Structures are given as C-alpha cells and as structure tokens.
Structure 1
Amino acid sequence: MSIYIYKVALKGLYRVLNRIQKFFLSADQLLVRQVQKHQYKTVSVYGIGEVGVAVVSLLTGKGIKLEHWYDSKIATQNNHYLGHTLTPYAELKHDRSEAIIIASEAFTEQIQKVIEDNLYSGTIVKLKP
C-alpha cells in the first residue's frame, strides 16, 4: 500500500479516537485539553457552575493563567469566589486574554452570544457537539 493510504487511514482513526474520548473525559477535561492543544498561556472562563469551578481548578494545576472569570449573575465589581475575582460580563470588551472558555454544557450558545455581543476579540473555546 502507498503512504497516502496509510495517512488517510491514520487520519480516520484519529477522528474516531477523538470522538471516543468525549465519552470518557469530563467537560472540564475536554475544555482544558483544547486550551493545552493551542498552547494558550492566559485564558478567561465564563461560567461559575460545576464545570467552571472544575475548569479553573484544572487550569491552575496546569500553570495556565486565569485572566478573568465571568458569569451572567455577576453585575458588579469586587466579587470573589474560591479565591478568584469575578468580573462582570460587561467587561468582556476589555479582556485581552488569548481565549475565553465557555464552561457550560447546557448554555453554550447563549453564553457565546453574550460574549460576542460584548465584543470579546479573542478565541472562544467551547465543547464541540
């Protein structure tokens, strides 16, 4: 067989393995893996629910700097959670992190709209369907 056929077969196998990992890894692990894959050094997180807490914990353990932590429930400055400052989502337009992670399984589309409406200019990292 030619090298081309092997390359095509390997690409197909790689896609299948990527789909399989979704069944074995949690949402927070999948999101942080995307951040690591792109080698982002500073990120922000949108979501203070269960997934958000787990993502922030993993980021800290991986040495990735948390720039801002947002949630729709945060409307004013000077809020803190688990030792981190929470930022009102209206401040998204000033965020200069390399990427923002949508830390939600259920509200990804709504959160993405809020992020885009508030003129965030970095990359959006989210769970893939």
Structure 2
Amino acid sequence: MNGMESGPKQRVNGSMLSHLQGHSVCLLGLAKNVDTNGMSFTLTTSDNMDVQVTMREPLNEYVSGLTEVHGEVVSPKGVMCSNYVVFAEDASAQFNMDLYNTAVETISKLPSHYMVTAAKSG
C-alpha cells in the first residue's frame, strides 16, 4: 500500500490506543470483518481488543489473518491506516500472540531500555 509514513512507530496493543490519539503507531493483530466497500476492517489486537481500521483508499486485496497496521490513532478503538502488511498463513499459524503482547507491554513499561524512535545523527 502506498502512503507509508516515514520513521519508526511505537508498537502498541488495543488498550494503549486511548492514550495515544493523534500519534502514529504500529498495531498487530488478526484482521476480520472487511467492509464490502474495502474501506475498513476490524483488527483483533494482541490483547483481544477489536479496533476499527479505516483505509485512506479501498483495499485491493483480501485482508485476513495476522496483519500489521501502521497509522494514526483517531479514537480509543480506531486507527486511520497509512500502511499495512498481511503475513502469510503459515506465519499466522505459528505466531505467538500472547508472547508478542507481553513484549509490547514490557517495552511500554520500560521505554528507557528500548529504542522506539530512530536517533538523530549529528
């Protein structure tokens, strides 16, 4: 998908969105319920929250399974998508969502120990 914003995004789960409105994030989960017009779908996040993902332009492919969404938080349960990645079926089947969620929460609780944004060289 075109329109990818540059720079790293903070990895989050669904419960973190309410504190990040207006911020660019990276959200991973299982895509489902694609709207018939292709302008939105639901993403069940690593902490089992359903988030409405709105597209800037209609999807040109079927989206399901393990999906990573990059975009701006527009509401506590909504993201405006700027880019997405649908992972292969075998990756979806082997992915440990609970372990991923633990990692996201740990990084969030200990931000000084994990680099979330790129450092400027200078």
Under a length normalisation based on structure 2, what TM-score does the superposition of the two structures give?
0.25
Higher relative contact order (CA 8 A, sep 6+): 2
Higher helix share: 1
Structure-1-length-normalised TM-score: 0.24
Structure that is richer in strand per residue: 2
